Amino acid sequence: MLSQFKIYPYPNPNTKNTTLSLSTNHSSSFSLFHQTLLTSHFITSDPGEAHLFYLPFPATPQFSGNRRTLARYIRDVRSSFPFWNQTLGADHFYASPHLIAVDSDRNLVELKKNSVQVAGFLPGYSTVNGMFLPHKDIMLPPIPHRQKIGEGGGRGHLVGEKIGEGKKGTGQFLGCYVGDDTRQVRSVLEYLREDSRFMIESQPLDLGSCGFCLFLYGGDLTAMRGALWAGCVPVVISSRPILEMPFSDVLDWNGIAMFVGAKAVKGLAGRLEEAFGQGRHEEMRGAGQRAAVHLIWNSPPRPYDAFYTVMYQLWLRRHTIRYARRQNL
């Protein structure tokens, strides 16, 4: 893949605002991916040798969040280049923090149905509304808050948490809650507050002191990477099935994390104790630490990190279905 995979980027659309902001957490991973891709060896100026075509439209609500503007852009690509009509966009991909909804416009229908969307991580929203299609789209892992370039992790390494400093995730607490204290959190975790085996009221200073780290799906999951690296097995609590975890077709999330229904929290302590007793915790802890490298963003990128994991997923999608052209669209 590293030497063969080639991507042809279309020219930037004619717009006054092409700046890709890193200001918000869910879009920063998208922006870093965009910038890294365009300067990587995967890019080619020869469309004849390209496996995929990249649509580099701006990451702004005025563009990717505007259906009319986006439809006009796809129409221009269709009329200016021959490649879209050859597959109706099936060998194209785009990166956008704004999840694109289904629309009646032909151009947006083909974009949504056929092209691969590389999206920023927005838990609890995308698949329910049909805006993220797990069989073809890619969900980027978020960049944690406070993440800076080249601080503490070596040259060019992006660091969010103090990763790798845990105590193997077998410390004094069976489980620790990681996240904001909201009314919803208090309601879901009320059964665990009086249990001395759990740390619910305050954030753990060292994730390695907890066997399991509890996350409420739909909230802030940016600390999950640090939990995995520290050996604290994530427990994701959700009121519905989860289909859009980052890199779900590469990482075996059921092997590195536990997923629990909100109504099952009352019996959670027993399940976690059972996982320890059966040795499953140790297996998940080791697998999670090995998987954590795929969730780390580096600048410049490093082998097996988040950028290269995205590229591998795109490589797997290079064999596209050649849709027959429909004259009635």
**Per-domain residue ranges for the chain?**
7-143+303-316, 173-295
Is pLDDT of 212 > 70?
Answer: yes
As a whole number, mean pLDDT of residues 32-57 equals 94
Residue 327 predicted with pLDDT over 50: no
What does pTM read for this prediction?
0.82
Round to whole Å and give the CA distance between 100 and 304. Answer: 29
- Higher-confidence residue of 228 and 163: namely 228
Residue 59 confidence (pLDDT): 67
User: pLDDT band for position 321 (50/70/90)?
Assistant: low
pLDDT mean over 245-261: 92
Q: Which range is least confidently modeled, 45-49, 183-187, 211-215, 228-232? A: 183-187
pLDDT higher at 72 or 15: 72
pLDDT per residue as tens digits for the range 272-310: 999 998 999 999 999 999 999 999 999 899 999 999 999
**Longest CA–CA separation in the chain, Å:** 66
* Of 1 and 37, the one with more pLDDT: 37
pLDDT at position 15 over 70: no
**Which among 141, 144, 151, 143 is positioned nearest to 178, based on CA atoms?**
144
Higher pLDDT, 149 or 75: 75
The answer on pLDDT for 70 being more than 50 is yes
DSSP string, 170-196: -SSEEEEE-S---HHHHHHTGGGTT-T
The pLDDT value recorded for residue 21 is 39
Quote the tokens at residue 128: 């329910």
Would you state the pLDDT for residue 224? 87
Q: What percent of the chain has pLDDT over 70?
A: 75
**Per-residue model confidence as pLDDT tens digits over 74-104:** 999 999 999 999 999 999 999 887 667 667 7
Fill in the DSSP letter of residue 263: G
Mean pLDDT of all residues in 25-47:
85
Q: Is 119 helix (H, G, I), strand (E, B) or coil?
A: strand
Beta pairing partners, 236: 215, 259
Q: Is residue 130's pLDDT more than 90?
A: no
Q: Residue 153 — pLDDT band, cuts 50, 70, 90?
A: very low
Judge contact between 161 and 185, C-beta under 8 A.
no
Q: Tell me the residue type at 303.
A: P
pLDDT in tens, 106-128: 999 999 889 999 987 766 555 55
Contact 88, 325 (CB under 8 A): yes
Q: Which CATH number fits domain 173-295: 3.30.470.20, 3.40.50.300, 3.40.50.1010, 3.40.50.2000?
A: 3.40.50.2000
Whole-angstrom CA distances from 173 to 80, 167, 272 are: 61, 12, 11
Between 171 and 215, the more confident residue is 215
Say if residue 83 is exposed, middle or buried (CB neighbours under 10 Å; 0-12, 13-18, 19+).
middle
Report the range of poorest mean pLDDT among 147-161, 164-178, 267-281: 147-161
Query: Alpha-carbon Rg of the chain, whole angstroms?
Result: 21
